[in-house]
């Protein structure tokens, strides 16, 4: 085991996950590649969604990959940051909207 949990070089080994379970790995990559093809959404729009989700998932590999992918597709710094804010807003909104549960509970217990 290396000294740190994350190694940037491991990103390149992503494709090797099929080594331990070929069929599921191959199915996953087939699905993954189909998702990112140009469809009703452009490849550029998909890169931005991926970038935002990469941040909410806090996956360093995905942040690395989709920052580069976004740059390659001509996405600007402002667009990238706005996408991350969208992710962050949903993440914080999702936490805050749960406070209604807390409020309900408080009101029930205290009347």
Handedness of CA 95, 89, 49, 12 (dihedral sign): negative
Tokens standing for residue 65: 């990959």
Q: Which residue has the tokens 């909207």?
A: 97
By CB under 8 A, tell whether 78 contacts other proteins. yes
Tokens standing for residue 20: 């331990």
By CB under 8 A, tell whether 16 contacts other proteins. no
Interface map 17-46 toward other proteins (x if CB under 8 A): ---------------------x---xxx--
Residues in region 44-73 near other proteins by CB under 8 A: 44, 68-69, 71-73
Q: Which residue has the tokens 């080594």?
A: 19
Residues lying near other proteins in the complex (CB under 8 A) are found at: 38, 42-44, 68-69, 71-74, 76-78
């Amino acid at each position: 085991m290396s000294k740190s949990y994350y190694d940037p070089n491991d990103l390149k080994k992503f494709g090797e996950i099929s080594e331990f379970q070929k069929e599921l790995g191959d199915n996953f990559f087939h699905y993954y590649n189909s998702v990112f093809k140009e469809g009703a959404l452009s490849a550029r729009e998909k890169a931005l969604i991926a970038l935002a989700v990469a941040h909410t998932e806090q996956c360093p590999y995905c942040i690395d990959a989709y920052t580069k992918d976004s740059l390659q597709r001509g996405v600007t710094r402002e667009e990238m940051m706005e996408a991350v804010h969208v992710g962050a807003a949903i993440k914080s909104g999702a936490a805050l909207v749960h406070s209604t549960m807390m409020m309900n509970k408080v009101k029930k217990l205290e009347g």
